[in-house]
Amino acid sequence: GAGVSQTPSNKVTEKGKYVELRCDPISGHTALYWYRQSLGQGPEFLIYFQGTGAADDSGLPNDRFFAVRPEGSVSTLKIQRTERGDSAVYLCASSLLGTGGGDTQYFGPGTRLTVL
């Protein structure tokens, strides 16, 4: 079946602009996660949804970052007033149960965001 998909694959924007990144999880997966990966580093957690609600948003770096999942499937990560430090690869993952532990997370290919 289809895996996790993310659009766009690449996004170049100017400092101060607003961007939206989209994630389509695996069908039937109740949990959705956003991570950010800087060059040469492991992914860092941003936010986790269980169904439509954000169950844990403790990884969002500041209030310029916001994410929604209105129907419990597709999610959009929104970044306001982008800064050069926001440049990274943004990864989305989904899992069947969202229980953590051994509940495997499946990752999309990522969106590479470049802020000029």
Partner 1 sequence: GDSVTQMEGPVTLSEEAFLTINCTYTATGYPSLFWYVQYPGEGLQLLLKATKADDKGSNKGFEATYRKETTSFHLEKGSVQVSDSAVYFCALSRDTGRRALTFGSGTRLQVQP
Interface residue with partner 1, options 79, 91, 113, 115 (CB under 8 A): 91
Of 29, 38, 39, nearest to 5 by C-alpha is 29
Own/partner long-range contacts of 45-48 (Cβ < 8 Å, ≥24 apart): 46/77, 47/77, 48/98
Q: Which stretch binds partner 1 (CB under 8 A): 18-26, 62-70, 78-86, 92-100?
A: 92-100
Is the CB of 45 or the CB of 66 nearer to partner 1? 45
Q: Tell me if 25 contacts partner 1 by CB under 8 A.
A: no
**Per CB under 8 A, 66 contacts partner 1:** no
Prior bond to 109 cis, omega within 30?
no
Return the residue matching tokens 């997966």.
29
Contact footprint for partner 1 (CB under 8 A): 31, 33, 35, 40-45, 48, 55-56, 58-59, 91, 93, 98-110
